[in-house]
A and B are shown apart, each in its own frame.
Chain A
Amino acid sequence: MLAGISSDYYLRLEQAREHHPSPAVLEGLTRALCLDAAAAAHLRRLARPPIRGTLRLDNSVSPSLIALIESMPTIPTYLLNRYLDIIYVNRLAPLLSPGFRVGNNLLKLTFHPAVPRDAYWRATARRTIGYFRSSVDPLDEGPELAQLLSELHALDPEFTAIWNLHETGSSSGYPSAFHHKAIGSVELRYQTFDLPGTGGQMLGMFLPPPGGPSAEKLQMLALLADDLQAAEGVRPAPRKTGTTTAE
C-alpha cells in the first residue's frame, strides 16, 4: 500500500471508526493521495484535535497591528476575520476597489449580483472559497458561520456548486488586477498572512511584483490618498515613506 497502512485500517479511517490517526499515517495518506502543501495542511487540521477550543469571534484590532499596517502606507492592506468579514482597511485598499471597506464580507462581495461572471471571476471565486474552506475551523458550529453560508447559498447557486467541490487551498501569490482612474491598470499579487492568537484573523496584502511598474503606481496612489485625506481636513500621518535621509 502506497500510504504505508493496511487496507483494514484505511477502511476504519474512511468509515470514521478511527478518529486519531498518527502523524505517520497522515504523512502516508498525503503521499499516497499526492496532496499539495495546502491540502496536506487541511488534512492535518481535520485529523488533529485543536490545541485550544474554537476561539470566540473577535473583531477587535490591536493598536500595535494598526500601527504596523499604517507603517506600510504604499501597500494596499485589509484585515479579515475568519468569516472573511473586512474588519480594518488602510487608506489604499478602498482606492483599489470600493468594496474594500470595513463591514463588507469578501465572499459576499465576490458573489454580488453586479459582478460580471467571467473566467477571471470564476478562478478568483474558486480560490476565495478554497481559502475560506481551509481557514474556517472544521469543528465550528457557531451561528455566524451558519448564517453566512445560508446567505451565500441564497445569493447565487454558483456558490453552492463551488462550495460542494470541497476544494481547499491558499489564495496567496495569485495575480490581481485593478484599475484606478489616476494610475490606470495595476497588476498586483495577493498575499495572505494568518495572525496567530487572534481567533483566525488574516491580513490580506496586495503586493507589487518585483521589477514591474506597479510599485511606482502604488506610491502615486499613496500620495493621492494623502491629498484626499488633506482635502477632508485630516492631517496625513507623519510617517516617512520611501527612503529615509540623514537629518
Chain B
Amino acid sequence: MNTVDPLVVEMILGLPTTPAFVANELFDVLASNPIARAVTPKFAVGMNLARAAFIDPLGHEGMLEWDRISDHMVGLLKENLATSADVLPLERLLSELASGNSGFTGAWASAVIPVDYVVALTMDHPKVGRMAVTYQPLRLPATGQTLVLGNVEPGSESEERLFRLAATLGPVGS
C-alpha cells in the first residue's frame, strides 16, 4: 500500500523543524517534508533507503557510524520479511541488494531484529555542519507504513543547526 493518508501528509508538512518521512516495508520514501529533504536528499519521495545504503556509492557520505545504521536497517528488513502481508516485493528487493553488493549478504547473515527501534544518527551536513538527530519510528496501523520523525535535543548545538537549516527553507506552505 503506497498511498499515504492525506491527513498524515498534511501533518508532516505542518512541521517546520521536525524532519519527517513516511516509508513502506521496502524503505521506499512515500512522503517527506522540506526539512527532511534538507537534512538529506535521501529522504526525497521515490528514494529507496535500503538501495541508497547498499548500492548507491554515495549512500553513506557524511554519515557517521554507518555500519550500525545499515545493520539496523537490515534487521528491520528481516523483521518485515517475517511479518509482511506481501513478501514478494521484499524478496525482489533483497535479491537485488544481494546481487549488487557483497556487503549486504554479510550484513543479512548476521542481522538481528532490533530491540530498540529508535535510531540516533550523527551526520556532517554540507551546509550547517555536524548534527545529531534521533529518529523515532511510528507505525501507521494496518498499512505497513512507518512515519519516521527526527528530533534534536532541546537547547543543543544540533538544534541550533537544524533551526538554521529550516530558516533557509522559507515559511511553511511556500
A contacts, CB < 8 Å to B: 23, 27, 37-38, 40-41, 44, 48, 51-52, 62, 64-65, 67-68, 70-72, 75, 134, 170, 172-173, 189, 191-197, 203, 205, 207-210, 215, 237-240, 242-247
Least distance between B33 CB and chain A CB atoms (Å): 12
Rounded to whole angstroms, the CA-CA distance of A216 and B142 in the bound complex is 30
Contact, CB under 8 Å: A72 / B18? yes
Rounded to whole angstroms, the CA-CA distance of A172 and B82 in the bound complex is 25
Chain A residue contacts of B140, Cβ below 8 A: 172, 193
Q: List 20 A-B contacts (CB under 8 A).
A: A37-B1, A41-B142, A51-B113, A67-B151, A67-B153, A170-B142, A173-B7, A191-B5, A191-B7, A191-B11, A193-B141, A194-B138, A197-B114, A240-B163, A243-B16, A244-B163, A244-B166, A245-B167, A246-B168, A247-B164
Partner-contacting stretch, out of B53-61, B94-102, B115-123 = B115-123
B126 an interface residue at 8 Å Cβ cutoff? no
Least distance between A90 CB and chain B CB atoms (Å): 14
Least distance between B14 CB and chain A CB atoms (Å): 7
Rounded to whole angstroms, the CA-CA distance of A172 and B143 in the bound complex is 11
Contact, CB under 8 Å: A195 / B138? yes
Contact, CB under 8 Å: A207 / B18? no
Contact, CB under 8 Å: A243 / B154? no
Chain A residue contacts of B136, Cβ below 8 A: 64-65, 68, 195
Contact, CB under 8 Å: A67 / B154? yes
Closest to B160 in A: A247
Chain B residue contacts of A189, Cβ below 8 A: 7
Rounded to whole angstroms, the CA-CA distance of A193 and B143 in the bound complex is 11
Count of chain B residues with Cβ under 8 Å from any Cβ of A?
A: 46
Contact, CB under 8 Å: A193 / B138? yes
Interface of A is mostly: loop
Least distance between B86 CB and chain A CB atoms (Å): 9
Contact, CB under 8 Å: A196 / B137? yes
Contact, CB under 8 Å: A64 / B134? yes
Q: A23, A38, A197: which contacts B115 (Cβ < 8 A)?
A: A197
Contact, CB under 8 Å: B153 / A210? no
B147 an interface residue at 8 Å Cβ cutoff? yes
Closest to B118 in A: A64
Chain B residue contacts of A70, Cβ below 8 A: 154
Contact, CB under 8 Å: B83 / A197? no
Rounded to whole angstroms, the CA-CA distance of A186 and B85 in the bound complex is 37
Chain A residue contacts of B117, Cβ below 8 A: 195-197
